[in-house]
Amino acid sequence: MNAKNGSICSLEDWSVVVERYTPYMAPESIVNVVRGKVFGHPEVKDGSYVITSKIKEAQGRRIVTENNEYILGSVSLGYEEWCQENNIVLDYKNPIKIRK
């Protein structure tokens, strides 16, 4: 698992979100990304909220996107609540699942 630029960042207060969704998109073209506070990014100030590019790989709490590699820290309280309300079990050891 390696990102393009070789940097490893951390994301805190993160949640999984849908990138650029419209009702006319085919389900297979919908892309999940992660939003959170980034730390250790070479181009973004620590603590700034970012939305990652498409997730290419996920292993445990480490994800690789098209541009960076991230370690997932604390999950967003709002995202945890949303998962509970929607009967989604959040696997804290392997929180990101990739559809192939």
Q: Where do the domains of the chain lie?
A: 8-85
What's the pLDDT at 34?
93
21-39 pLDDT tens trace:
677 777 777 778 899 999 9
Q: Over the range 8-36, which residues count as b (16 or more CB within 10 Å of their CB) and which as e? A: ebbbebbbbeeeeeeeeeeeeeeeebbbb
pTM given for the model: 0.82
Does pLDDT of 77 surpass 80?
yes
